Homo-oligomer: A and B are copies of this chain.
């Protein structure tokens, strides 16, 4: 069954990702919390805090099922159905402002009628990068990995998923992108041309290559020096990250409103954050150049 194969895959991928990030950090490890959901299922939340490289991050997997909550029935415009949802979700906030924050999510959803028959199923997910300082080669590298994976799967269209990512991770109240984007896809279903196996294959390939997209950037930037002013800028930009997650992110809001596990949902928030009134970077500064790109998303590859 696809759901079992995908769950087994993310369970093993969680180990690979956390081990790799621990080795990269070198000073601390992820702590695991296993939690159960009263209505069915649960998850394994793994959090890293106060590392030399990673200030705060989480790599979570969950597998939840049962009757679909009324709020979700309304959202999906379906009746009283049962559901199964599983996925891996991660957000990593590095210490050094030269190292970007990264987010990724790879998920699978099934809906059942009351006889237990699957009536709908789809994959969704993506990955996106939020740098504080713009290194064009990093943005190109991240997008190139995304594009290369997409290109080997007929189901995946880099240009469309890239555009959806820019549209989704957008702080409309600021007129700014959250970061330099990546991929976003959802409701990836079987069609006349493609099977769920095709989508599973793309999903696993993309998830497997998350580390290839991110780790070389961390390795390249983690030893760079930075000033207190650059750290301030990072914390101010993290405020925008918080704004996006709490005001616009559908996953976060649904979690908060449908009695999800709060700590697993809000592990996405950075450790140290600042808000200043009406902050604007100096003209022609590296900070302003970063902002310029966030206001006008670019094609990187």
Contact = CB atoms under 8 A, between A and B. Distances in A.
A108 to B, nearest CB: 25
Interface string A228-264: 0000000000010011001100000100110000110
Contacts of A174: 262
A56 interface: yes
A100 interface: no
Contacts of A271: 274-276
Given A239-B269, A246-B243, A269-B239, A278 B263 contact: yes
A226 interface: no
Name, among A33, A270, A271, the residue most crowded by chain B CB atoms within 10 Å (CB to CB): A271
A44 B109 CA distance: 49
Contacts of A270: 275
A33 B273 CA distance: 24
A278 B47 CA distance: 10
Interface string A58-88: 1000000000000000000000000000000
A194 interface: no
Contacts of A275: 56, 266, 269-271, 273
B257 A267 contact: no
A173 interface: yes
A267 B174 CA distance: 14
B277 A274 contact: no
Nearest to A245: B246
A298 interface: no
Contacts of A267: 277
A174 B272 CA distance: 20
For this chain, the copies found in one complex come to: 2
A242 B239 CA distance: 10
A242 B247 contact: no
Nearest to A93: B275
Contact of A173 (B47, B247, B256): B256
A111 B257 CA distance: 32
Name, among A242, A257, A276, A278, the residue most crowded by chain B CB atoms within 10 Å (CB to CB): A278
B269 A272 contact: no
Contacts of A157: none
A198 interface: no
Shortest 7 CB-CB distances between A and B: which pairs?
A246-B246, A269-B275, A173-B256, A263-B278, A47-B277, A273-B273, A246-B247
Given A49-B277, A56-B276, A242-B273, 13 more contacts: A33-B278, A47-B277, A49-B276, A56-B277, A173-B257, A242-B242, A242-B246, A243-B266, A246-B246, A270-B275, A271-B274, A273-B274, A273-B275
14 contacts: A33-B278, A47-B277, A47-B278, A173-B262, A174-B262, A242-B246, A246-B247, A247-B247, A247-B253, A247-B256, A263-B278, A267-B277, A271-B275, A273-B274
